[in-house]
Structure 1
């Protein structure tokens, strides 16, 4: 014999019930089948609501009763042939009349007792099972309806009765052993006491009903049919990459169901576990899916962790004080008080010093638990030997579950390291001696991030997901997004990095999608986005609270740079080509570095110097390996190098500058480049990354621009000044040409001092043949004291700058 249980979602509508019929019919061709059904989806909630309204003497309960009646009569009209409907409707209306009488009683006395509520809510399963049985008969299935109250006997603990297995097993064995029908349809959830009163097995009790029948009848298998294809490695609604667990042990399934895996009701497993009956979780709407098989299988399975689960709405209660140390019986009193208060404890941890006991309970039980404990320890609290119970709310429990976790080293370390890197604060930890479960209490708001982080760590073939929030989509930003779009598949396959752009903003609009924006048409999405702002963009990034979040700044905006500290403080990495932050006052620069270290959030700005050239990265490696920088000489402005490589007496200086701007080599305001401020920032950053304390005011700037050009306030006036002072620029060029020299804008740092300025470079100098927009850096160090370490290549342009930002993203991915 086989037992099949169908939940409320599986019987929520006539179309779904037809799918159930197909599954039952197929199963009944090979063996006798017991079918346990829940109430039609949502009906139990309506019954509870009607009961509460009636007890509150609110006549709206009658409207809900009409909804319930309409729901069931409509199902009959859809499922049963019209010439057979009369008898079925008559029986259903008779039951509905009894239900109406019960609700009217609650209305009249203004009260709904647990005993009365059990009678009322049980009608959901009674009605659904009868209608479904009649539908099976209508479809020529050899079926009969059996009231579970005649088979399952309990005590009189109404609301969640305890089964009398001796009486129940005898009744079930006698009935199932003699009934000749192929299909027996029974209601789940309901039972009756020995004296005949209706009782219930608690919410989720239909699973329990099925397990009781399976154990009592010696069924070969128990199938739980629901709306998902088995037990998942994590909640698929929260973790999109979660997948079905093909097989799992009873103990693992119990742990997962206890910690929130709602596909299975925890007590269900107990009767089946005792009789070693396999439990198969299947999907009513995808019956071909393999589902999850729960059995006594003890063979090693791939991976130590079988699933990750969680419970929300948890409160932590802590009892602590010096008066607890060495005093026998404190724990006994503590848990006895909670037991008498009917508070279920889901999490326990105790300090080895016996100084404190910490427990996790449902948030709704926290107030009465605190009240009961404070009363029980009132004397010790009055003597200040024990502190009043402290309560922390808005928490959740996450748990790793697996039978073979104890045989794998370092799982706890991996778990807590992964959470720590994503700024998930752990409030308490519990791990049993069996090491089948490692649990941690975290903030409720961090659940999604924590589950996705742990799933990535333990299940996703070490593929790391990076979530990018991109501000600035001009020349550099657009190229960057194009590169991400082009390289996504390669990165996932070769580098095990899944890079998603979750948010994009320009100066006017912003758009977000927590599943990742479609980079094939990001422009149209952005055009239709909402109004942006620095604070609103940051708040959205913070609210999404995604793991491995990276803020990417492609602007040259001072106000954007001022927001980096907020991102870093929330463990959100920052990657930027914006030089303002790293060249800001030294205290601010150090603060950002410290925030990066404290919150484990990389702050990378490789493109601040040399665009895509690995200048800063090379410098860091030199310093980390123990080398010391003695001197830096460099041409650090690709735009200025382009300008002076193309400037001659035949081409006016202003036209060369305009060409550089048009080709994207200069900042939007080219004065930033030509004034030397951009190069000053770059040499300042290199000096600081070498370990020197320096501010930009300390850098000597030998400007080549006329004073009038330096004092302009807009781009148009700046170009006018360049035209006006044509003779000045021609003279600079002529003087260099007379000496067979080329003009290069050079930055230098030596002996703690830095300077920048236009220089005449002779033919024998390494800078002389620097062409186009290239940069060159010479690092003189204690190791490279005779011949400097030289880095040379394209140092400007949207394409190479974007690639430099991309490289920083990959560095974080490998972090």
Structure 2
């Protein structure tokens, strides 16, 4: 059983670990790290020595921490030998002071002395733990200097396992049922104390497990086991209950901090079970690592390794020259630089490989020295390095048995908008790695986890505009949550903005109390704030939903798309601005691979744009279009044929909420002109808004009134003149309709009298209807008909467009 520093942060935690050891039903050997934070304090002490700074305060700090833990144990354990514990701690601290003061005299800390200083924390933990355990049971204290023999390197050493076993059997022929040992260090061939590198105490435990022929090696830490991805980055991460030694080694090699490859190798060689357990949740089964793996999952985990530098050796001298690759990697071996990943061009022109960032400068210098002649004679180009990179890796024993894993991996990276710099895959297909820019690696991990583990498409929506349509859309999102869950879709409304305030919540806005929260918000809306929020929260599929008719917001769409937002809008101002801006929006959407969706620009909830685009994609061509595109005007024109005057019908529609607050905005026809222009542009016509022949329902003097109440007061004066048009149509058994027309490459919006044979004759009560004649649909037109007025259908259209931003992945 190995216990890390977080399990030994206080006297209470020491006592808890004692209980975990004592409750074992079989002989146990325990290995200990330094108490939490002590190793960092010792590293700081060495830095102060090398900087020739005063050491007193740092030594006092370390002493205070260790003496406090030792003193606090007195009250926790009956028969605790406090005198012996204090004496041992004092002796250890005296030795630490002598070592530090000796280094202070010579002005630096030699590596051998640094190893002695750094191992002080583990020695303290073991001595204190032995004293605690001896209150109930005999305890053997194992000294790693007697049997953990390593190679000649001072740091990050590798143990000579056969010799370790031999020396252990020589010195410990019989041990008690409980034995304890400090982790993190051993000795080299000269007998000098050396540390075992990162996760050295885990490695010590693995070595000891081999020496005692253990049944299992338990690594006790502060999490329940190994997860499919870093839980700090992805809250929905999944615990891996069973994995193979090979998977564990790959995972630890590519950045998982919970394990180190050196820990797994000795256990795998002896087939000793390794279990990752949580000291704070000891009843949890944790993660078990053996020769077996969970076969129902192809991809077991995603890991990422940051602070990586790619070095490129290239030039004409590479091709066909035997031994070039061997010289490159021999140079790295001689310099003791770990090569993480290798990629070579098929033309043999270049070799690229990744090294830890802190070793890159050394690597380049050594290569320049090795290939000095080749560089001088132009056989090699100057050695290149690319900084600030990271490696993201998929790991799983079963990946080779499932088709399409690599495809889904690279598709996920593409969806996260991450550029792949290099790719590597091992021959067993147990791991697939991609080198990416370090600043995008978190986004890459999040989206890869979503698409490879959760397999749950996700939308993160930001809504602008809290008017009638905006409020209805929020209500529909809330209402549809259960349906979305059944369809395995995750829809988060991450933000809401009005003209004054902005509410942002990475985990989703509270759909029950959003209005109060928005009112209380002190944040104003801006694209820069939203972009920063999306980047910080690692949101990978953000969607802007515009429920306004604001010109300024519409003119920002280009920036939204450029910042990788999908845009879903009911606002017609963008698509009916200049033709140049219209084309820029569509070009930017294609360039950024974002969706620009505006179905509600024409028919509210009716599928007008989608059907028209489908026909055009199939090679069809628009010949003629006629349509009633305003639900409010459809209702008004229906009512005037039921005996109401124009002003009475308009007042009724206004009272029902069918018109704008100022009905002049409906009766001036501009809204319909914008809608027909959108259709024309979708059909490929190069038209501007002023090219539409617009005839308003009312005279210009009325159409230009900007106050709704003033408009309604003056509208009755026009009733008599408008009644003449009604009477004239009805005398000829016709009805008036406000119609948008596209014919011969031109657009018009006007009042038109239609008879019973016309497809728009029966349209009333707020319906929209469109008659589309194309090459495929003639002489009978393609008819689309349905209600086009009201917040519900408009919100439903926006909801439908929003779902079209989902990134669906094919299952293999």
Tell me which of 243, 266, 271 is aligned to 2:266. Answer: 271
- The answer to whether the Cα contact below 8 Å between 2:604 and 2:788 also exists between their aligned partners in 1 is yes
SS at structure 2 position matched to 1:239: coil
Tell me the residue number matched to 1:496. Answer: 488
- The answer to whether the Cα contact below 8 Å between 2:144 and 2:181 also exists between their aligned partners in 1 is yes
Tell me the residue number matched to 2:130. Answer: 133
CA distance in 2, matches of 1:259, 1:746: 65
Q: How does 1:62-81 map to 2 (within 5 A)?
A: 62-81=56-75
CA distance in 1, matches of 2:21, 2:727: 95
Q: Shift of residue 555 of structure 1?
A: 1.8
Tell me the residue number matched to 1:728. Answer: 718
- The answer to whether the Cα contact below 8 Å between 2:311 and 2:354 also exists between their aligned partners in 1 is yes
Tell me which of 497, 514, 518 is aligned to 1:522. Answer: 514
- The answer to whether the Cα contact below 8 Å between 1:583 and 1:681 also exists between their aligned partners in 2 is yes
Q: Shift of residue 733 of structure 1?
A: 3.3
Tell me which of 548, 561, 577 is aligned to 2:541. Answer: 548
Q: Shift of residue 433 of structure 1?
A: 1.8
CA distance in 2, matches of 1:377, 1:297: 45
Q: How does 1:319-334 map to 2 (within 5 A)?
A: 319-334=313-328
1:487-524 CA-to-partner distances (Å, cap 9, x unmatched) read 1232122x221111222222222222222222222223
Tell me which of 217, 221, 224 is aligned to 1:222. Answer: 217
Q: Shift of residue 149 of structure 1?
A: 2.3
Tell me which of 180, 195, 198 is aligned to 1:185. Answer: 180
CA distance in 2, matches of 1:97, 1:646: 99
Give 5+ residue unaligned stretches, structure 1. none
Q: Does 1:739 align with 2:732?
A: no
Q: Does 1:566 align with 2:559?
A: yes
- The answer to whether the Cα contact below 8 Å between 2:463 and 2:547 also exists between their aligned partners in 1 is yes
Q: How does 1:563-712 map to 2 (within 5 A)?
A: 563-646=556-639, 657=650, 660=653, 663-667=656-660, 670-712=663-705
Q: Shift of residue 791 of structure 1?
A: 1.5
CA distance in 2, matches of 1:567, 1:173: 69
CA distance in 1, matches of 2:680, 2:129: 79
SS at structure 2 position matched to 1:218: coil
TM superposition score normalised by structure 2:
0.94
CA distance in 1, matches of 2:603, 2:516: 32
Tell me the residue number matched to 2:114. Answer: 117
CA distance in 1, matches of 2:438, 2:474: 33
- The answer to whether the Cα contact below 8 Å between 2:739 and 2:751 also exists between their aligned partners in 1 is yes
Q: Does 1:509 align with 2:506?
A: no
1:344-374 CA-to-partner distances (Å, cap 9, x unmatched) read 2211101010111111222222233233333
Question: Cα RMSD over matched residues?
Answer: 2.4
- The answer to whether the Cα contact below 8 Å between 1:534 and 1:560 also exists between their aligned partners in 2 is no
SS at structure 1 position matched to 2:753: strand
Q: Shift of residue 416 of structure 1?
A: 0.9
SS at structure 2 position matched to 1:412: helix
Tell me which of 161, 164, 168 is aligned to 1:168. Answer: 164
Q: Shift of residue 614 of structure 1?
A: 1.4
- The answer to whether the Cα contact below 8 Å between 1:709 and 1:722 also exists between their aligned partners in 2 is no
Distance 1:343 1:623, change over 3 A: same
SS at structure 1 position matched to 2:417: coil
Q: Shift of residue 36 of structure 1?
A: 0.7
Distance 1:404 1:798, change over 3 A: same
Q: Shift of residue 307 of structure 1?
A: 1.0
Give 5+ residue unaligned stretches, structure 2. none
Q: Shift of residue 243 of structure 1?
A: 0.7
Tell me which of 744, 748, 756 is aligned to 1:751. Answer: 744
Distance 1:751 1:442, change over 3 A: same
CA distance in 1, matches of 2:388, 2:590: 28
Tell me the residue number matched to 2:361. Answer: 367
SS at structure 2 position matched to 1:609: helix
Q: Shift of residue 135 of structure 1?
A: 1.8
Tell me the residue number matched to 2:419. Answer: 425
Tell me the residue number matched to 1:310. Answer: 304
SS at structure 2 position matched to 1:430: strand
Distance 1:598 1:18, change over 3 A: same
Q: Shift of residue 161 of structure 1?
A: 2.8
CA distance in 1, matches of 2:426, 2:440: 24
CA distance in 1, matches of 2:672, 2:172: 88
CA distance in 2, matches of 1:294, 1:662: 70
CA distance in 2, matches of 1:501, 1:229: 31
Q: Does 1:41 align with 2:36?
A: yes
SS at structure 1 position matched to 2:168: helix
Distance 1:657 1:534, change over 3 A: farther
Q: Which is worse superposed, 372-381 or 789-798?
A: 372-381
- The answer to whether the Cα contact below 8 Å between 1:177 and 1:217 also exists between their aligned partners in 2 is no
Distance 1:57 1:655, change over 3 A: farther
Q: Which is worse superposed, 684-693 or 352-361?
A: 684-693
SS at structure 1 position matched to 2:769: strand
Q: Which is worse superposed, 514-523 or 757-766?
A: 757-766
Distance 1:729 1:763, change over 3 A: farther
Distance 1:785 1:398, change over 3 A: same
1:418-449 CA-to-partner distances (Å, cap 9, x unmatched) read 22123111111111222111100112222222
SS at structure 2 position matched to 1:345: coil
- The answer to whether the Cα contact below 8 Å between 1:422 and 1:571 also exists between their aligned partners in 2 is no
CA distance in 1, matches of 2:490, 2:648: 44
Tell me the residue number matched to 2:142. Answer: 146
CA distance in 2, matches of 1:80, 1:35: 22
SS at structure 1 position matched to 2:686: coil
CA distance in 2, matches of 1:725, 1:803: 33
CA distance in 2, matches of 1:362, 1:508: 48
- The answer to whether the Cα contact below 8 Å between 1:5 and 1:224 also exists between their aligned partners in 2 is yes
Q: Shift of residue 69 of structure 1?
A: 1.7
CA distance in 2, matches of 1:43, 1:668: 69
CA distance in 2, matches of 1:68, 1:625: 76
SS at structure 2 position matched to 1:234: coil
Tell me the residue number matched to 1:92. Answer: 89
CA distance in 1, matches of 2:642, 2:699: 18
SS at structure 2 position matched to 1:311: strand
Q: Shift of residue 177 of structure 1?
A: 4.5
Q: How does 1:16-35 map to 2 (within 5 A)?
A: 16-27=13-24, 30-35=25-30
Distance 1:464 1:102, change over 3 A: same
1:123-176 CA-to-partner distances (Å, cap 9, x unmatched) read 0100012112222223x2443333322331234422223323333212323455
Distance 1:374 1:475, change over 3 A: farther
Q: Which is worse superposed, 361-370 or 799-808?
A: 361-370
CA distance in 2, matches of 1:536, 1:19: 47
1:754-783 CA-to-partner distances (Å, cap 9, x unmatched) read 111222344553323323322111122223
Q: Shift of residue 674 of structure 1?
A: 2.7
Q: Which is worse superposed, 692-701 or 542-551?
A: 542-551
Distance 1:784 1:176, change over 3 A: farther
Q: Shift of residue 251 of structure 1?
A: 0.6
Q: Shift of residue 408 of structure 1?
A: 2.0
